[in-house]
Copies of this chain bind each other. A is one copy, B any other.
C-alpha cells in the first residue's frame, strides 16, 4: 500500500553530510518510497552560501532562511546537519512547534541539551532521532535503545573518534610522535585545521554522554563526562604499551557501578591488550563494545565519520521517522526513568600503568611500594631499570579507585627519591 502524497523533508545544512543526504534522497527515491510506504520529497534546503553550485539540487529549493523553512507548517521531517549549538537548537525547537519530526547528527547539541529537545519532541508528539550523532554509520543508538531494551547494559567501551584513532594507530605502527602523526592526519583530511575538538576529547565526550544516557536510562550531559585528550601520549608511551602486550586507544567508557546505584562516563587514552578486539581497530574506523547481563559482549564496528556513512545513518532515521508519521505514532523517546547519579571520576575503578623517574639507590622500591600500600593501591607488577645513578620504575597496579591513585601519585611526587612522574596511563579492556 503506497500513499501517493509525498512526505516533505527540510534539509538544514548542505555540506559533506547534507549533500550526500540530498543525493541519496534523489538517486534512491523509489527505494525510499517503497520502504517508507510513501514518497519523500526534498521541500527545502537551508544553506549559508546560496551562490555555491550544488549538483543535483534544484536551486529553487535553496534558501538562507532556515527559520522560515522549519516554520512553513507543511514540513513533515526536518533533517539537521548544521552542527553546533546555535542556530541548530532554535531551529529544532521551532521544527517541533510547527509539527515536524527531527533527524539530527548533532552530537554537541544532544550532549548539552538532549533532555530539553526530547521534552519538546514529546510535548508536540514528534520524533527526535539521531543515530548519526554517535559513531557515524554504525548502528548503535538503535541497538542500544531498541534491541537491548529487554536487557541490562553494564558497560559501553569504544573508539568513537576516527581522527584520534587514525593518529594513535599511526603512532603505534610507525613509532611516530604525536605531532608528526597529527600532521599526516591533517594532510590526509582526517584531522581538521583546528583539531581541538577531536584531540582534546570533546567530540568523544559528547558521544559518551549520549551513549551513557541511552545505555543506562539516565540523563547524562557533556559536563558529566570526565575528559582527557590524547595530545600528551608519546612514542615512549607506545613503547611501554608494547612491553605490556598492549596498544593505546582513546576510549569512551560508560559504566554502571558494581552495586548498580550509579554510573560513570569518561574519555581518556588507555592501554588495552592487543588481544582485545578494539586493539585491532585501524585507521579512522570506530568500534564500540557493549556488555550486558543477558547478551554478554557485543561489538559494533564501522566507519565513524564521512559524508556517505553519516548520510546512511541519517537516512535510516529518516525512513523510521517517516514510517512513524504514516502510522500516527512515535518511536521511543528519551528514557531517563532510572535517574542514576553520575559519579565523579574519583570513584572510577580501573588499573594503572605508572612510569617514575627515581634515584638509582637501595630502598627506593621499598619507599615507593609503601606509598602505594598506604593509599590502598595494590601493585600487580614492578619493573626497575637503572643507569648512571638514574633509574626508572614502571608500576602496574591492580584495580583501584581513581581517587586512591591520585592520592598515591601526589604522595609519590613528594618523595625525595622520586625525580618525576613520567606518565600515568589507565589500563582497560581486561
A296-B302, A299-B302, A309-B295 known; A150-B28 Cβ under 8 A: yes
Residue numbers in B under 8 Å from A316 (CB-CB) = 146-151
User: What 6 pairs between A and B have smallest CB-CB spacing?
Assistant: A150-B315, A139-B147, A137-B295, A294-B312, A149-B319, A295-B312
A286 to chain B, nearest CB (A): 10
The digit string for A150-162, where 1 denotes a CB below 8 A from any CB of B, is 1110000000000
User: Contacting A302 at CB < 8 Å: which of B32, B298, B303, B335?
Assistant: B298
Q: Which of A90-98, A191-199, A231-239, A322-330 contacts B (4 or more CB under 8 A)?
A: A322-330
User: Among residues 317 to 355 in chain A, which have CB atoms less than 8 Å away from a CB atom of chain B?
Assistant: 317-320, 323-324, 327-330, 332, 335, 337-338
**In the bound complex, what is the Cα–Cα distance between A77 and B20 (angstroms)?**
40
User: Contacting A323 at CB < 8 Å: which of B137, B323, B332?
Assistant: B332
**In the bound complex, what is the Cα–Cα distance between A143 and B20 (angstroms)?**
20
A31 touching B147 by the CB < 8 A rule?
no
B138 touching A298 by the CB < 8 A rule?
yes
**In the bound complex, what is the Cα–Cα distance between A137 and B293 (angstroms)?**
11
Does A230 touch B at the CB level, under 8 Å?
no
**In the bound complex, what is the Cα–Cα distance between A302 and B147 (angstroms)?**
13
For A139, A150, A294, A327, the residue with the greatest tally of chain B CB atoms inside 10 Å of its CB is A150
Interface residues on A, range: 35 or more
Q: Which residue of B lies closest to A40 (CB)?
A: B150
A149-B319, A150-B314, A324-B329 known; 15 other A-B pairs, CB under 8 Å? A24-B150, A34-B335, A35-B150, A35-B217, A138-B298, A142-B147, A148-B312, A150-B312, A150-B319, A293-B312, A295-B312, A299-B299, A301-B301, A327-B329, A328-B328
User: Contacting A300 at CB < 8 Å: which of B142, B300, B320, B335?
Assistant: B300
A35-B335, A146-B319, A329-B329 known; A297-B303 Cβ under 8 A: yes
Residue numbers in B under 8 Å from A338 (CB-CB) = 31, 34
Q: Which residue of B lies closest to A296 (CB)?
A: B303
The digit string for A305-316, where 1 denotes a CB below 8 A from any CB of B, is 010110111111
12 A-B contacts (beta carbon < 8 Å): A20-B294, A35-B335, A139-B143, A139-B147, A139-B298, A149-B320, A150-B319, A292-B312, A296-B303, A296-B309, A297-B303, A299-B302
Residue numbers in B under 8 Å from A24 (CB-CB) = 150-151, 294
Does A280 touch B at the CB level, under 8 Å?
yes
Residue numbers in B under 8 Å from A332 (CB-CB) = 35, 323
A147 touching B313 by the CB < 8 A rule?
yes
Does A203 touch B at the CB level, under 8 Å?
no
Does A131 touch B at the CB level, under 8 Å?
yes
User: Contacting A337 at CB < 8 Å: which of B34, B149, B302, B306?
Assistant: B34
Residue numbers in B under 8 Å from A293 (CB-CB) = 308, 312
**In the bound complex, what is the Cα–Cα distance between A138 and B151 (angstroms)?**
12
User: Among residues 16 to 34 in chain A, which have CB atoms less than 8 Å away from a CB atom of chain B?
Assistant: 20, 24, 28, 31-32, 34
Does A84 touch B at the CB level, under 8 Å?
no
Q: Which residue of B lies closest to A289 (CB)?
A: B301
**In the bound complex, what is the Cα–Cα distance between A143 and B320 (angstroms)?**
12
